[in-house]
Amino acid sequence: MDIQSLIKTKNGLVLEARKLKASGQLESAVVVIRAAAQAEEDIGKLKREDGKDDWYINVLSAGSCWLQCGEAENAERCFAQVQEVRPDLDLTPWRVL
């Protein structure tokens, strides 16, 4: 799947998760957020492979998604990747481990 298709898919997942949360379907929302997190990671990976400098933004977003669904280890892995290339960013408030 190309980057634009992944972005479209991820955006749809985020909107679906918001609707599910708003309607109180939290378990379903978590499943959708996990899919959005993976999509964000995939987008970041493709951007990095393409030499795009902003890839880390998607990985950071993935980390945020992982936190929302209680996946602290996955979130920390994402934040560590970002911290390697952007040590100037203070991720302390997001770091949980």
Domain assignment of residue 96, yes or no: no
Per the domain annotation, does 68 fall within a domain? Answer: yes
pLDDT (0 to 100) of residue 90: 86
Q: Which amino acid is at 30?
A: V
pTM of the shown model: 0.91
How many whole angstroms separate alpha carbon 73 and alpha carbon 19?
A: 26
Let me know if residue 52 belongs to a domain: yes
Domain count, the chain: 1
Looking at residues 59-79, what average pLDDT do you find? 94
Q: What is the pLDDT of residues 16-39, one digit of tens each?
A: 999 999 999 999 999 999 999 999
Judge whether 58 lies within some domain.
yes
Burial code (b: 16+ CB inside 10 Å, e: under 16) for 46-78 equals bbbeeeeeebbbbbbbbbbbbbbbebeebbbbb
Instruction: Judge whether 71 lies within some domain.
Output: yes
Q: For residue 91, is it within any domain?
A: no
Domain that holds residue 35: 3-85
